[in-house]
Structure 1
């Protein structure tokens, strides 16, 4: 049976390209059969994993609200920005579930847009630093975890997510500078973000360094 190199699904019959993504097919063609790929329904373990991710999302949102109430910042409900960011990531996942190879790009794009909007909102409303203390470090941390989880459960190829995870991790390293130069007054979210960035970069460089470099060359036309 033919297998799509990009979708990683089995295709019956003898088509020239994958009916879903028009990607190249490898394997032995069958003389007869349905030309559409045989997509297996989500397994029980996959559903359980999604349940754990949903539980983690709710936990992060609840903890953010609790911290926001316990440590108020001039009446700013910064926890709502975290909830909105997490909801945006989940909405994107549900909308483009059939095009799962775009999830890393969507996560990266939304993370940049939401972080910029949050920072500007904070800056033009007195700059109480709630954006740097809480919202941006938490969103970056959740994005790194989300990318790793989606890559695992959807069995993404390294080149489909490594560059976006690398960019997020490199930017997250600067959270340590916020702590060193006393820019933030609550250091724990920034330290967690920095720790996750080091772990992510170490994984990419030590285990997927060649794929990361090849993808960087391809996208930068080096």
Structure 2
């Protein structure tokens, strides 16, 4: 915009339409056009990492099914890439709650190793040992976070609840020889998780009672 000091008007013209004097530009005046965003958030590194991982996965599947399908070694690459995406996107680059990160790590690692076990002949080492001990580690880590932040009981409770669901699934695995052939790791997880949950309820019964009412809406 140009400013006419005589008529005290602003006009986009170089000559004042009233007094016909040449005008001077005002650097503080508003522009006729909206401001265009020229800078954007840089996330090229994240995109490059994901592109490399997806490319590795696609190339591995292509080579595996082109050369030979007797051994599906590309499933190892598939499990590793999917877990790496969870690890990078949700654990390292996300502002998600620590309990959510622990729970997703438990699910991601367990599913990846179960996939490896199935692809290598399904000797059930994933069901017998990996899932129970990963469950014990997850409960231990969440309990540590809860002891550091006791005021976050409401937040951590839902993650304990989901771990309890995993606990109930393991009850079925213990009683079914079709999936689990070694019972003591699952039994240890059942005892440990029940012991920890019982201790939390014992030491914070009133607060836990309130959170239960809020959680189940009664």
Q: TM-score, normalised by structure 2?
A: 0.49
Q: Over alpha carbons, which structure has the higher Rg?
A: 2
Q: TM-score, normalised by structure 1?
A: 0.48
